[in-house]
Structure 1
């Protein structure tokens, strides 16, 4: 849990004896490092900073103090930082790499310093673009060299090493291993496994919460007989677990359960509950309680059998429901709940209470929705959007569809009220196009032209697959395209309209139900089967492909899906956009992957 494999690498500092140590999970990208970034709290920040940069750097450091880790590392925030005036030396090439300070690097994780490889890391890329720093491609998707000047985002996937000396031509896994071996042989770095876990302070000094089933021996001085009335000493270094037969330990009834300055917590005031005798020896119960996480760590297990009064859950209920197929939760949930739920579940697994070592089959973090000013919504910033007001003005379906259409589920994205209006227009167009189809003469017998029929079947396929993969934004986009096509047809067939209503129902259930009823449905569409599609109608005979010259897109061409290399060459032979970059040059390689790649390598 929280495990990262990679390497620690030492970068020499220009003019100094210290080393700047970084941890990276992508040592294969070392040749692509173009600058360094250290955390504002890094101990070398002040010693490194040159006199001419000192005032700005220290002012920047002070401005970061009040920010949370989540605010500092948010992908969507504007990248900020200051150049320290210092340089590190690349451990292999000896190149001078400027050292910056930026808040997105945390002193609490790794070494508090990073090598920045902007071509292959999203944050590094955005920072480089913001401050005009070099972007050098060292991992290529196809083994070819590409010009990063036109890139709008980093390439973060695995690929083939390029511009990387002895690593060139190796796939990412092999390049990682080769680089780590090289670093270790040269004494420049070491293989390292890191864990990013947050300590769990489990106890709470409050009344509400499960009592911790632990007690301690109590010593009384001579002449004292009752710790509730006389001075005493609790031997906290000798905890004793409450016997299983005495569980659960229940909270005592208290008239005053408010917290106080006493670190022992409110339960310390319940003297008759706290102190008890066993075999003539006095004992004191633990007065701290468990946090709310104690219950939420296993709530999913109770949910499967909530009315069972004899056990936490029955075996039958567990076998029917567990493990959880899909868990959708915010990123702030990742440590504060989900990590501990896994710990808790593994303990129950070791105890034989559950049958699976992991509670959740798949986890998806939904992205945060920011205010229209691209900042986290909060009352203090005045950018909170009240969903009730949006529903009142545009309808619940408009709000629902817009939230799914905003972007990928996992992405952080800003709210745009204008976008809700656009979604409302889409729903209105769908209604106006389909609501009266049943009343049109011949609607039951009408058929779609071939192009429209293909689009309908492609949409059924895409929406179904996108829902399974949680690509909700592209599913909505596909429905918008289909709506525009159907709106241009004089007579929409009844079956096509009913299929559309079924496809729309997961996104705009209220409107879809109304459409379904108007189209002749006699019961809720929730009980209807999902539409099917003809695979043959979802595959185009003709596809449009980009034509690259030396890895750069220069033109596009339409070809039959089964086109041969000879067909491709004939199709692009007289293309002026291709000829402009190939005439007078020697063809070194011709790459053609049907339906995917056309790339001419010339020199």
Structure 2
């Protein structure tokens, strides 16, 4: 009888072994093997430590990298920390301590927990975005973006959070509040560093066709970029002035009954002296600037607005005067800051017209659009004909688009153009704990970027880490701010970069993390990029995943990245929910699962096995304590059988041949597809058959342990050693299957009399017809009481005896 399974002793032993022997250290210069680069979205090292959701995605990449290593690949599977961010800064504000100490302590905690879970990370390549050796190159890349004209310093409306004392990007604002902390966010004009995302729009759209990503994520990015092809048309304002609108529905131009301008745009500012209801308009503008772009567009359910009384513009296609309004759903930062409104053929315009008692003109035939005839009226579109459109009346929409555009082009008031919803990425933050922007504002007002030999520009240590009166905390660093070097005098930029800066390129640094001459060696990048498998949450679809693609594409265009797209395959893991089926969190603390507690009681292998067996990786799943115990029982069952030497035989007796080869085939294919739950199920089936047989050939036993070791590496290593092996299992060759041996040799068929089943018969698939029929007659001999007139055999399915 083998000794009892002791997860604590076994896991401690092998974690020490892997650390001492640097088992998973990757020689990135070994080009003799095919490469495989598996990567997790690296975590922010919070003070709370890992939660139960972290190990799910990490285990998924760990299983894949372990299998690929056994298949002969040189595997790179690194880990690091996205360590700049608000929590560490708030800690510094509250305690007066430098946030780096808080961050380093949290990194140590996370690293300890990750080691306890047995992940095969190459810890020699660990990075931290707040390490000056890392962010030197973040600053360097940003400088390159500036030199290429993509990073700009402009005056623009931004999302300002007074409580956090900083600007926030659109994806950091939810329902008008900061994503972190839930504090109010308002709009205000500030000088900001931005990155020109729209300049990359077409390349990003094209790149989506080349990568293996979830279609839902690709569609989110397409929608976020928001490409539309249409016509830009100039409108003259009665009494002087003009503005332009962009439309994809130029065929509806005869149906315009009003215009809507962005309340906070330059067009309205230039017209305020001519507005008759100035106080009403100004009050609406003041209310609008308190809202974020999300509040004004995607989340906007109201049709609020205000007429610019006394102002009209001229529709160039027919010379008619059109009333002018402002509405908060029109953004100064998107398009031209003005939209034409055709209430009979656009739902939003229709509701706005109803709310403000504006006339409607139907210009496309196909429906009665009087106010009382419908509640919702969308644009009618393809195949319909124009009405009330002068010489274009009777034309189908497709022809009218071209004809009206041509007329306006001939008049010199229109041009064909492409527009995007995509806007500049607001890149400056009025925070301390982030990468300093490495530039100086010279005395003549020009911008001077630090030379490469002055990078990294390191954060100064402060006594007061809190910004005041809308100014950045680095304004408190009075000596650090002043720059006087190499004949240049000026003041340093005191805003810092957003947390997403370092994470936009970190996947490259893992390949060459200690290089102090360049951000990564180009020969290494050519070999290792792109990342073969990237696993992380879907919440990053239009944030980190978009930013990473932009930075990588910029570096590709500069000849500094060998690939257009950084992540070849992307998988989003589902959420691990509390046992109540709700996301774990502060709301229901009693349902929050600490993975360290599970490891202590059941072991890391049990936790890994359980989370992979819960269901498909991409699906959210509730925690279940009893199923954790079931995972532990399965591991114990494997331990009890395969650590008993007398249970292992040297020769294949044939009892397990087919099920073994079927298991290797299914596990291999399922691992490749990240179908870990079904792969584990197949291994359980095999173990059941092993118990029935009472013995297992050594080849099959070792093959099972190799496969299982990817999911449960500690117990896999221990059983492998007890089977008589001295070296780690990590580099053993992956088991192979024989396709011919996966096929069932026998099949059970029905035996019928006059089409009614009277029994069953097990036959060989290659058995001849006469032999099968003879066996079938034996099975139903007592029922053959009449004259046989016909004997029918459908191979592999039935024998039917027809009788009178």
Deviation at 1:366, TM superposition (A): 1.2
Query: Alignment partner of 1:207: what SS?
Result: coil
Distance 1:408 1:41, change over 3 A: same
Q: What corresponds to 1:212 in structure 2?
A: 437
Distance 1:544 1:213, change over 3 A: farther
The equivalent position to 2:706 in structure 1, one of 499, 502, 527, is 502
Aligned partners of 2:421, 2:661: CA distance in 1, in Å? Answer: 46
Q: Any residues of structure 2 matched to 1:38-49 within 5 Å, and which?
A: 41-43=300-302
Distance 1:249 1:268, change over 3 A: farther
TM-score by length of 1: 0.54
Q: Answer yes or no: is the 8 Å Cα contact 2:366–2:384 preserved in 1.
A: no
Q: Answer yes or no: is the 8 Å Cα contact 2:442–2:448 preserved in 1.
A: no
Aligned partners of 1:260, 1:251: CA distance in 2, in Å? Answer: 18
Deviation at 1:536, TM superposition (A): 0.9
Distance 1:512 1:358, change over 3 A: same
Aligned partners of 2:367, 2:619: CA distance in 1, in Å? Answer: 37
Q: What corresponds to 2:425 in structure 1?
A: 200
Q: What corresponds to 2:725 in structure 1?
A: 521
Question: Are 2:505 and 1:307 aligned?
Answer: no
Q: What corresponds to 2:641 in structure 1?
A: 433
Q: Deviations over 1:471-530 (max 9, x none)?
A: 111110111111111111133223222222112111111222222233333332223211
Aligned partners of 2:729, 2:486: CA distance in 1, in Å? Answer: 69
Q: Deviations over 1:411-460 (max 9, x none)?
A: 11111111111212222222233321x225x82235132xx321110110
Let me know the Cα RMSD of the aligned residues.
4.4
Aligned partners of 2:397, 2:678: CA distance in 1, in Å? Answer: 44
Distance 1:480 1:254, change over 3 A: closer
Q: What corresponds to 1:185 in structure 2?
A: 383
Q: What corresponds to 2:653 in structure 1?
A: 447
Q: What corresponds to 1:532 in structure 2?
A: 736
Q: Any residues of structure 2 matched to 1:363-442 within 5 Å, and which?
A: 363-382=570-589, 383-436=591-644, 438-440=645-647
Q: Which has the higher contact order (CA 8 A, sep 6+)?
A: 2
Q: Answer yes or no: is the 8 Å Cα contact 1:454–1:538 preserved in 2.
A: yes
Query: Alignment partner of 2:429: what SS?
Result: coil
The equivalent position to 1:325 in structure 2, one of 532, 538, 545, is 532
Distance 1:465 1:446, change over 3 A: closer
Deviation at 1:201, TM superposition (A): 2.9
In structure 2, the gaps of 5 or more residues are: 1-203, 205-220, 229-246, 250-256, 258-296, 305-364, 369-375, 386-395, 402-417, 750-761, 767-794, 797-804
Deviation at 1:384, TM superposition (A): 0.6
Q: What corresponds to 1:472 in structure 2?
A: 676
Q: What corresponds to 1:3 in structure 2?
A: 222
Q: Deviations over 1:256-295 (max 9, x none)?
A: 2511223231222334443446999964332111123222
Aligned partners of 1:281, 1:446: CA distance in 2, in Å? Answer: 81
Distance 1:468 1:280, change over 3 A: closer
Q: Answer yes or no: is the 8 Å Cα contact 2:439–2:449 preserved in 1.
A: yes
Query: Alignment partner of 2:687: what SS?
Result: helix
The equivalent position to 2:695 in structure 1, one of 491, 501, 507, is 491
Deviation at 1:364, TM superposition (A): 1.0
Q: Deviations over 1:41-60 (max 9, x none)?
A: 52379xxxxxxxxxxxxxxx
Q: Answer yes or no: is the 8 Å Cα contact 1:3–1:195 preserved in 2.
A: no
Rg larger for: 2
Distance 1:315 1:373, change over 3 A: same
Aligned partners of 1:289, 1:270: CA distance in 2, in Å? Answer: 13
Distance 1:42 1:513, change over 3 A: same
Query: Alignment partner of 1:496: what SS?
Result: helix
Q: Answer yes or no: is the 8 Å Cα contact 2:439–2:450 preserved in 1.
A: no
TM-score by length of 2: 0.42
Aligned partners of 2:487, 2:701: CA distance in 1, in Å? Answer: 82
Q: Answer yes or no: is the 8 Å Cα contact 1:252–1:270 preserved in 2.
A: no
Deviation at 1:301, TM superposition (A): 1.6
Q: Answer yes or no: is the 8 Å Cα contact 1:448–1:492 preserved in 2.
A: no
Deviation at 1:213, TM superposition (A): 3.3
Aligned pairs, how many? Answer: 377
Q: What corresponds to 2:556 in structure 1?
A: 349
Distance 1:316 1:249, change over 3 A: closer
Aligned partners of 2:764, 2:481: CA distance in 1, in Å? Answer: 82
Deviation at 1:245, TM superposition (A): 5.3
Deviation at 1:380, TM superposition (A): 2.9
